[in-house]
Amino acid sequence: MEPELGLPSAPSPSDANEQTTYDAQKLLASNADGCIFCDIVRGKLPSYKVFENEHVLSFLDIHPCSKGHTLVIPKAHHPRVDTMPADVAMNWFQSIPLISKAVLYATGAEDFNLINNNGVAAGQVVFHSHLHIIPRYPSVRPRMDRHGLRWLSTDLVPEEGVRLAEKMKEYLQRCTHARI
């Protein structure tokens, strides 16, 4: 049986501005039962982990749109960007430049899409906020619309997942900010 994926009501302005610090206990309490990404954060499901720190987890998408398609999630469960406190969004977004560079290094791509879907009409499938870093290659351009947004995915080959994740970690380990 699939979990119900209802959308929460929008937070009040005072909630949206509230600053919170997530310690380990609060983080675990914030994870939603039945959320596949929360299960990955908890270590209940495997992933091709690329990056992890106190606030963020990044791993390869198992149904990639291109080689190296990577997801970046806040560890705390928030279904949409508009439901998270500003400090959670800040910690999440601060990791994007570093992880993007690792994706480009590992794949040899020069360009990428950064995509975040919020809600069913926007194409969100997993209701735990996440960003897609999708490397783009000139040879694949004809498969995309004029905005580079055609969403054609395949299945991640396990051997390629291991190789790409290791190459991204190699890059990140050279950076002082990464804890893997």
CA 154 to chain centre: 18
Annotated active-site residue 177? The verdict is: no
CA 162 to chain centre: 17
Instruction: Please tell me the distance from the alpha carbon of residue 119 to that of residue 110, in angstroms, as a whole number.
Output: 30
Tell me how many degrees the CA angle 29-31-35 measures, rounded to the nearest 5: 155
Catalytic entry in 78, 128, 130, 132: 130
Q: Which of 49, 90, 164 is nearest to 41 (CA)?
A: 49
Q: Which residues 6+ apart lie within 8 Å of 178 measured at CB? A: 51, 53, 98, 169, 172
Question: What does residue 49 show for φ and ψ, rounded to 5 degrees?
Answer: -65, 135
Q: Which residues are catalytic, by number?
A: 130
